[in-house]
Amino acid sequence: MTDLLKAKLSRRAVLQTAAVGAIGIDPALRAVVYAAGSDAPEKTEVKIGFIPLTDCASVVMASVLGIDQKYGVKIIPSKEASWAGVRDKLVNGELDFAHVLYGLVYGVHLGIGGPKKDMAVLATLNNNGQAITLSKKLADKGAVDGAGLAKLMASEKREYTFAQTFPTGTHAMWLYYWMAAHGINPLQDAKAITVPPPQMVANMRVGNMDGFCVGEPWNHRAIIDGIGVTAATTQDIWKDHPEKVLGTTGDFVKKYPNTARAVTAAILEAGKWIDASLSNKNKMAETIADKSYVNTSVDAINQRILGRYQNGLGKTWDDPNYMKFYNDGAVNFPYLSDGMWFLTQHKRWGLLKDHPDYLTVAKQINQIEIYKQAATATKTPLPKSDMRSSKLIDGVVWDGKDPKKYADGFKVKA
């Protein structure tokens, strides 16, 4: 056995021991007890795709810590190159589940942004923790925030290019919403391109874009590398917004409901573990920084997951609304209104030609019953309602009650 392999194995043993301490009972023992019932997972080994981003952490840690064993499943995390790749592998069954963009799942279900396939959201993996980065060149000309960008674009006319990570995804919607809130039409006043998250920094370095919206650690990485500044965080746009989800196909849920519940429970518990302490967050940062996962330095990850922010221009702040994976269960419930919000923005930006039946689509996709069973298994608190209300950066309240009116009510749209 090589020294490197020994080191990796002993590291896994240490982390699993830590998990057992957190859980209280040996995971292998729990798995035997759990699998003895009629609700045993139908499929015991599952492949879960992820993109190298900080918010893949609960999927990775459920596997690394052995929390998956407690629920009678073995999670095999599978590193993917792009969201389009994740989409294709989910649709064709190469992946059982994925750490995936909320809006991507909804887009596939409706046949926009790729092939049409019935999809399922089992849980929200995280709130907050994405950002909009503008190039150092723009910042040097005064574009350090939304107002500064609008002013520069009005005075210095040229083609401005901004990158998001997938046409129907979360980052596209945050970028467009933020620009529109500052009077910029993202589709008419600028050029929008799609770039996979790990390639954002390299593309900005060679001047391929003026700004981008992506998940961490790539915004902080741009600051470390001296090529970009943080103009806004996504929690500035919508406090405690939904972000990545545990996604799969509708067919998988129908065929393997117990597996879906077991995996959801394992990932809920991993999220709970991450959010439980400072040392757990640091352990998580050390683990996912590894080449097999995010492949970056620990310092690119560990500051912002603790809410320690800097904008790359000397401003620093402590943000209470940093990336959260559990937050006493408030993060993970698959609110119908969260899914519907993405549909309103797809309609706003012309991705959907007509209004869908917003509530019906959300009920088809968001697997609330399976989530509730997983929440019960993990003692995760449940909200009083399947809908929630939020006020976004432009002062407009979203509560899911009249999605057509909401979608049509924006001044800046496609």
Q: What are the residue boundaries of the structural domains of the chain, listed by start?
A: 3-126+242-305+323-339+353-383
Using 70 as the pLDDT threshold, list the residues of the chain that sit under it: 1-37
Please classify residue 363 by burial: count the beta carbons closer than 10 Å to its beta carbon, then call 0-12 exposed, 13-18 middle and 19+ buried.
middle
Output the pLDDT for position 114.
85
Residue 313 one-letter amino acid: L
DSSP assigned state of 325: S
Q: What is the pTM of this model?
A: 0.92
Tokens of 31: 């798995």
Cα-to-chain-centroid distance, residue 202: 21
Under 8 Å between Cβ of 27 and 66: yes
DSSP assigned state of 366: B
Residue 388's CB is within 10 A of a number of other CB atoms, namely 18
Helices (H), 24-101: 27-35, 57-64, 67-70, 83-92
Closest C-alpha to 231, from 351, 294, 324, 311: 311
Contacts of 365 (CB under 8 A, 6+ apart): 105, 106, 109, 119, 120, 121, 250, 339
Helix (H, G, I), strand (E, B) or coil at 271: helix
**Spatial distance between the Cα atoms of 394 and 135, rounded to a whole number of angstroms:** 24
Output the pLDDT for position 113.
83
Residue 271 one-letter amino acid: G
Contacts of 186 (CB under 8 A, 6+ apart): 162, 175, 176, 179, 180, 192, 349
Closest C-alpha to 322, from 228, 231, 239: 239
Closest C-alpha to 201, from 224, 178, 179: 224
**Spatial distance between the Cα atoms of 171 and 164, rounded to a whole number of angstroms:** 6
Tokens of 176: 């467009």
Closest C-alpha to 114, from 96, 132, 101: 101
* CB hemisphere CA count around 173 (13 angstroms): 27
Closest C-alpha to 188, from 355, 407, 412, 345: 412
Output the pLDDT for position 20.
43
**Spatial distance between the Cα atoms of 105 and 112, rounded to a whole number of angstroms:** 10
Output the pLDDT for position 261.
98
Angle at CA 363, nearest 5°, toward 357 and 368? 165
* Percent of the chain residues topping a pLDDT of 70: 91
Helix (H, G, I), strand (E, B) or coil at 228: strand
Output the pLDDT for position 15.
54
Beta bridge partners of 127: 242, 324
Contacts of 307 (CB under 8 A, 6+ apart): 318, 319, 320, 321, 322
**Which residue is it, tokens 């893949």?**
56
Per DSSP bridges, beta strands 316-318 and 130-135 are: unpaired
CATH of 3-126+242-305+323-339+353-383, one of 3.40.30.10, 3.40.190.10, 3.40.50.150, 3.40.640.10: 3.40.190.10
Under 8 Å between Cβ of 162 and 193: yes
Q: Read off the pLDDT of residues 221-249 as tens digits, 9 standing for 90 and up.
A: 999 999 999 999 999 999 999 999 999 99
Output the pLDDT for position 234.
98
